[in-house]
Chain A
Amino acid sequence: QQQVKQSPQSLIVQKGGISIINCAYENTAFDYFPWYQQFPGKGPALLIAIRPDVSEKKEGRFTISFNKSAKQFSLHIMDSQPGDSATYFCAASMRDFGNEKLTFGTGTRLTIIP
């Protein structure tokens, strides 16, 4: 049972363009939605996160859009740069002690070309 579905599996974007990665979740008890960034040979690292009381969160060139009714959230990378080339994972967790473990999507390999 995949509780967090992520698409696309891979994405190629030209430098300066907008990269968009989408995720959908099933469990309405989820109330924390982070995005993790992973470079080759490294562990994932938190990029940006949102809670469902807001519809958008922006940090620099990275924005999360959240649609609670559709149970979807997405990551937008504006002015994409070659240094953004990495694998991106969406995730979800719930505020319930003992059940706070992160459930990850399958990942999107993003490549930014010059």
Chain B
Amino acid sequence: NAGVTQTPKFRILKIGQSMTLQCAQDMNHNYMYWYRQDPGMGLKLIYYSVGAGITDKGEVPNGYNVSRSTTEDFPLRLELAAPSQTSVYFCASSYSWGKGNTEAFFGQGTRLTVV
């Protein structure tokens, strides 16, 4: 049981480049999330999804896009990377209240540096 898998683990981008952070879960969770973690700032929600085909903005969505075409996958797209997007990105998944345990499972993170 792999849980939540994120790729890549590390990436250096130049200003203005774009990339996609991949996230996949094999627990059949309906909720999926993307958080960014900056030192001393906790975890900020970028986007989340309550199921395939449904996404919504979190606290800090600017500069990012997501899609959810399947239950398993929730990629995060960065367009025109900026130094302010240097951070550690975490993908997570969970059930909703009506489906069972609401524990959120996190991936190992992607450390992104924009130079």
Contacts and interface: CB of A to CB of B under 8 A. Distances in A.
B48 A93 contact: no
Interface stretch (B35-43, B66-74, B76-84): B35-43
A106 B42 contact: yes
A89 B43 contact: yes
A41 B94 CA distance: 21
A97 B50 contact: yes
10 contacts: A43-B109, A44-B90, A89-B43, A100-B31, A100-B96, A101-B31, A102-B45, A102-B92, A104-B42, A107-B40
A103 B98 CA distance: 19
A6 B42 CA distance: 10
B42 A100 contact: no
Q: How large is the interface on B (under 10, 10 to 19, 20 to 34, 35 or more residues)?
A: 20 to 34
A31 B48 CA distance: 19
A102 B104 contact: yes
B103 interface: yes
Interface in A19-58: 32, 34, 36, 41-46, 49
Contact of A32 (B90, B102, B105, B108): B102
Interface of A: 6, 9, 32, 34, 36, 41-46, 49, 89, 93, 95, 97-98, 100-107
B54 to A, nearest CB: 8
Contacts of A89: 42-43
Given A97-B96, A100-B96, A101-B48, A45 B106 contact: yes
Contacts of B102: 32, 93, 100
A19 B92 CA distance: 27
Contacts of B109: 41-43
Contacts of B106: 43-45
Contacts of B108: 41-43
